[in-house]
């Protein structure tokens, strides 16, 4: 009887632990660097509203075509009922001002939150955008760091230079999303330079999931391992998710293997609307 009681107690305890470890937050990759995050009825879309585009300087990017975008926005579509639309920067493989304006017009409860370049781009692109100005939110700035809160969600926008010398004029933000006791950090196209991550050095905290471009994580030369140093040492990431992979099966397979060799527990986003188990 005593052994049976112990067994039941241990079983209940293990069940409780297993339940506690189940995340209350769900994630899906959309296209390129896009991520859909859901907690209860709160839905957040990061870098997910952009259009198909031609090859750019020898690179191609996954995207939703016009039919998929339209379908996803329908009442029962994957991108229906978004509360917060976020973008890291203005590049057209992460953001399109007309798509943002179109979504806001079709969903009166949605708001867009982003830096000045993003907000101004929406306002300049569409004659109807001024009517949306109260839902185009540029967060308040304090020493370059901006914050925005809604019930249950806290956003922190940390400016980090865009990778690549020609893109120095781009205002790229790493976006820290805190909800349900979890911290999710989307790096956008941040330059993999440890010296640019001063905010996270000065405010050490464990990040539950870092979402980073594959090239950030595989930054050459590998002997320096700058991306790995940032993710594992500075950000203290529990998990890493690689995005921005090209729509080329051969290259995806090669990069995926390289990523898994470097980060055994990595999540590699390769499919449209892929459910992320983390």
**CATH superfamily ID and name for 26-273:** Ribonuclease Z/Hydroxyacylglutathione hydrolase-like (3.60.15.10)
| Of 35, 61, 38, 65, the residue nearest 47 (C-alpha) | 35
- CA-angle at 234, arms to 90 and 178, nearest 5°: 60
pLDDT, mean of residues 51-61? 70
Question: What's the pLDDT tens digit per position in 105-163?
Answer: 989 999 999 999 999 999 988 776 778 889 999 987 767 899 999 999 999 999 999 99
Q: What pLDDT shows up at residue 14?
A: 35
Question: What's the pLDDT tens digit per position in 214-233?
Answer: 999 997 555 567 898 999 99
* pTM given for the model: 0.88
Angle at which helix 97-106 crosses helix 66-73, to 10 degrees, equals 30
Q: What pLDDT shows up at residue 4?
A: 39
pLDDT, mean of residues 38-52? 94
Q: What torsion, rounded to 10 degrees, do the Cα atoms 223, 227, 233, 238 define?
A: -130
Alpha-carbon span 185 to 188, nearest angstrom: 9
Alpha-carbon span 73 to 85, nearest angstrom: 13
Q: What residues pair up with 29 in beta bridges, in sequence order?
A: 35
Model confidence at 19, pLDDT cuts 50, 70, 90, reads very low
Alpha-carbon span 223 to 216, nearest angstrom: 14
The residue assigned the tokens 């640019």 is 196
Domain ranges of the chain: 26-273
DSSP 193-258: -GGG-HHHHHS----SEEEEEHHHHTPSSTTT-HHHHIIIIIS--SEEEEE---S-HHHHHHHHHH
Q: What pLDDT shows up at residue 72?
A: 83
Catalogue the E-assigned strands of the chain: 25-29, 35-39, 42-46, 84-86, 111-113, 136-137, 140-142, 145-150, 153-159, 173-179, 182-186, 209-213, 239-243, 267-268, 275-276
As given in the structure block, the two tokens for residue 146 are 């901006």
């Amino acid at each position: 009887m005593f052994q049976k009681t112990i067994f039941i107690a241990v079983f209940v305890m293990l069940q409780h632990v297993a339940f506690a470890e189940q995340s209350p937050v769900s994630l899906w990759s959309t296209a390129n660097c896009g991520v859909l995050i859901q907690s209860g009825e709160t839905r957040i879309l990061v870098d997910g509203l952009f259009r198909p585009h031609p090859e750019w300087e020898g690179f191609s990017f996954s995207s939703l075509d016009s039919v998929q975008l339209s379908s996803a926005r329908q009442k029962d579509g994957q991108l229906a009922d978004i509360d917060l639309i976020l973008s890291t920067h203005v590049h057209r493989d992460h953001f399109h001002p007309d798509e943002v304006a179109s979504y806001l017009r079709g969903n009166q409860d949605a708001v867009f939150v982003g830096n000045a370049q993003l907000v101004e781009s929406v306002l300049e692109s569409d004659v109807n955008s001024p009517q949306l100005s109260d839902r185009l939110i540029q967060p308040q700035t304090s020493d370059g760091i901006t914050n925005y809160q809604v019930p249950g969600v806290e956003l922190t926008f940390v400016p980090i230079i865009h990778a690549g010398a020609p893109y120095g004029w781009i205002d790229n933000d790493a976006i820290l999303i805190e909800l349900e006791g979890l911290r999710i950090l989307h790096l956008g196209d941040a330059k993999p330079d440890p010296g640019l991550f001063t905010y996270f050095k000065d405010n050490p905290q464990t990040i539950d999931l870092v979402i980073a471009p594959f090239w950030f994580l595989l930054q050459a030369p590998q002997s320096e391992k700058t991306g790995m140093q940032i993710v594992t040492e500075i950000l203290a990431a529990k998990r890493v998710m690689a995005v921005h992979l090209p729509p080329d099966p051969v290259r995806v397979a090669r990069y995926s293997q390289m990523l898994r060799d470097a980060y055994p527990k990595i999540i590699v986003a390769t499919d449209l609307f892929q459910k992320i188990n983390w």
